[in-house]
Amino acid sequence: MNITKTFIDGVFVIEPDVYKDKRGFLFESFRENKYGELCEKFVLDIVSCAHKNVLKGLHYSRHSAQLINIVHGIIYDVVVDLRKESKTFKQYFCIQLDASNPKQVYMPSRCAHGLYVLSDNAVLAYKCSRYYDTSDDLSVMWNDPELGIKWPLTSEPILSDKDRRGKRVSNVEFC
């Protein structure tokens, strides 16, 4: 397993050991004794499927860290640092995640997550350090000019109502 620190403190890209042969491949998507030093304890797994041109985010939690793993498809994945005390506050990290070359992204709480689906479909698995709480499910505008995220849009993104109502980062209450 290879763990790479990003320029955002606490955000890591994890490349698990992948075992391939003529039948396909196998890798451990989580092993507590390997990930435990890196990550918080996880209590919830979520699986999400989205279609091409769906843009989700930027979602964040004040209390829950996440480990993101792509199971099928290709996405453009974005993490934004919303920790006011951080030296990379309001900066973003992006990476293309492709299920044929498994990589994972770990992000601590108070970092926002967004994704844009590049393939026909994409399936993601999230590990969360807290149970889902609607009062802690917050959103920042995906296209906030203050953040300046360069999304690789191939057409008008498909958004949820929640993502259409995301707040400008300048209007978010940071803790």
C-alpha distances in Å from residue 18, one per residue of 30, 107, 123: 12, 22, 19
Q: Any residues with CB less than 8 A from the CB of 52 and at least 6 apart, and which?
A: 117, 118, 119, 120, 121
**Distance in angstroms (rounded) separating the CA atoms of residues 82 and 90:** 6
**Distance in angstroms (rounded) separating the CA atoms of residues 23 and 103:** 20
Active site residues: 59, 126
